[in-house]
Amino acid sequence: MGERAYRVQKMPDPEVWFGSYRNNTIVSKVALKSLDRISLYFPIAIDLGWEIIAFDLTVIEGKKEITKSSNSSLISQSQKALMEILKPGQKLIIENIKVRISDGSQRYLPPIIMEIK
């Protein structure tokens, strides 16, 4: 048969979505109440076995930053309570998104920033 050279490329980072919302979107407070997890979206239809293992949810209230953490892809009770205080014009920031890759290594993904309408 012969030989053929090929190159293995690193998979690009997936996009992080909060329900059907992604970075730089405007979302209503009512819509937030129905959301219970963040998820990964890959640009190709393949399951690479990546898993969200932790993330922080941050709200800026006046001059104070309030951050609550979760150790999974699910929104924790304290994070849900934090989302309840959001007012129109405020930003909801999901950051420090830590994922476990199928080879066991871990990586941080870029944050999601959404404005409340």
Domain interval for residue 78: 20-116
CATH assignment of the domain containing 72: 2.60.40
Q: What is the pLDDT of residue 6?
A: 67
Residues 6 or more apart from 88 whose CB is under 8 A from it? 29, 116, 117
Amino acid at 100: R
> Is residue 33 assigned to a domain?
yes
Residue 1 has pLDDT above 70, yes or no: no
> Is residue 105 assigned to a domain?
yes
Rounded to two decimals, the pTM is: 0.81
- pLDDT tens digits, residue range 36-95? 888 887 766 667 788 999 999 999 888 899 999 999 999 999 999 999 889 998 999 999
